Amino acid sequence: MRLRLGIRVHRVDRAGAGWELTLAGDSIGAAHVVVATGPDAVPVIPSWPGMAGFSGTVIHAWQFRDVAEMAGLDVLVVGPGNSGVDLLGHLARSDAGQLWLSARSGMNITPLRLGGVPLHPVSVLGRYLPLRWQDANARAVQRLAFGDLTRLGYPRSAPGAFTRAAADGVTVAVDDGFVRALKAGRVTMKSAIDRFDGPQVCFTDGTRCAPDAVICATGYRPGLEQIAGHLVALDALGMPPFTGACSSPAHPGLWFFGLDRSIYGNMHVRRRQARQLAQAIRQQPPASASSSDRSASARSGD
Ligand SMILES: Cc1cc2nc3c(=O)[nH]c(=O)nc-3n(C[C@H](O)[C@H](O)[C@H](O)COP(=O)(O)OP(=O)(O)OC[C@H]3O[C@@H](n4cnc5c(N)ncnc54)[C@H](O)[C@@H]3O)c2cc1C
């Protein structure tokens, strides 16, 4: 095996019986290609009206490095998912000034443990139950651990934790100090952002705040458009139509890996999926090139 590190693959194209990977000024030919570029490759920052004129700082959660950088600053975190809730757990214990959390919709949240029992292995054990039972368990755990968070402005999620993860890949947020901070008044809930107005952020419920920094914990996309968007139809979340040991007869030798989201955790599911993928590759001899493959490859100039 030859490792070539620190090299960006710009595009994958059919080339004869195999595939060609376009690099900067170079290319690699291969019988099989496994695209494992990660589901979180491209940070997403929404564009709100008036944002360009905002006098404070706007960053994405991936740019956040150290709570010390926020000392003395009033901070608005946008997005009540795992990143937002985790950030606020840390910021609440720091010298940051006022803290707000803007939530567009409700979010499921869970403690790491309940009565000393770690919940992640329990959720994995329950994976063969119908989704609505898993949702009901998660709701009961949330209620037992935190009580009624809607009284503090934390919106109730309409879909349950497992249904939501299956629908759009957003997993349940894991609490690490956020709920304590919310209950203590250290964090104040806000509704969705409507627009920016000079130094202020205006929310859909008509309220405003004037943060020094806005941290967008607003998620990521896989960013497969350039690499493989011309080969397969990506879904609304930017995910490919097949992944793991599944392939398409139209694209023999092209595989995607890790490009589906699992609420049960990567360590748990990827090891098994990797073995299945290796076996599928062994069983699939490289296909011979079809004329359409050849012309596609000729069209692309490769
Ligand atoms: C804030 C945060 C917290 C998370 N917490 C958890 C958690 O607690 N538990 C859990 O199970 N999961 C967690 N996840 C999800 C988990 O990190 C990802 O699902 C996991 O990293 C995916 O692994 P991967 O190898 O598929 O992709 P990545 O780890 O993203 O690796 C992809 C690799 O491909 C490279 N690459 C990308 N594009 C190209 C290209 N064009 N050419 C060449 N190389 C390229 C990248 O540089 C990178 O090295 C978290 C994610 C985030 C963002």
Tell me the DSSP string of 85-128.
HHHHHHHHTTTB--EEEE-SS---EEESEETTEEHHHHHHHGGG
* One-letter identity of residue 10: H
* pLDDT tens sequence across 152-196: 999 888 899 989 888 887 888 999 999 999 999 999 999 999 999
When the pLDDT of each residue in the chain is averaged and rounded to a whole number, the result is 90
Distance 36 CA to ligand 1 centre (A): 9
pLDDT beyond 60 at 302: no
Ligand 1 pocket mutation, candidates 10, 22, 266, criterion most atoms within 8 A of CB: 266
- pTM for the model stands at 0.86
List the CATH number of the domain containing 59.
Answer: 3.50.50.60
* One-letter identity of residue 286: P
Helices (H), 103-261: 119-125, 131-146, 161-168, 178-183, 225-228
Ligand 1 pocket mutation, candidates 37, 88, 225, criterion most atoms within 8 A of CB: 37
- Domain assignment of residue 64, yes or no: yes
Q: Which atom of ligand 1 is nearest to the CA of 226?
A: 41
Give CA separation, 125 vs 67, 166, 216, 257, 276, in Å: 36, 17, 33, 24, 21
- Section 9-35 average pLDDT: 95
Distance 41 CA to ligand 1 centre (A): 7
Identify the domain containing residue 143 by its residue range.
43-220
Task: Name the one residue in this structure whose structure tokens are 């009624």.
Answer: 148
- Mark whether 66 and 187 lie in a shared domain: yes
- Domain assignment of residue 78, yes or no: yes
- Domain assignment of residue 150, yes or no: yes
Rounded-to-integer distance, Cα 59 and Cα 216, Å: 6
What's the number of domains the chain is made of? 2
Give CA separation, 299 vs 14, 38, 159, 213, 273, in Å: 11, 29, 45, 48, 34
- Mark whether 129 and 253 lie in a shared domain: no
- Domain assignment of residue 231, yes or no: no
- Mark whether 189 and 254 lie in a shared domain: no
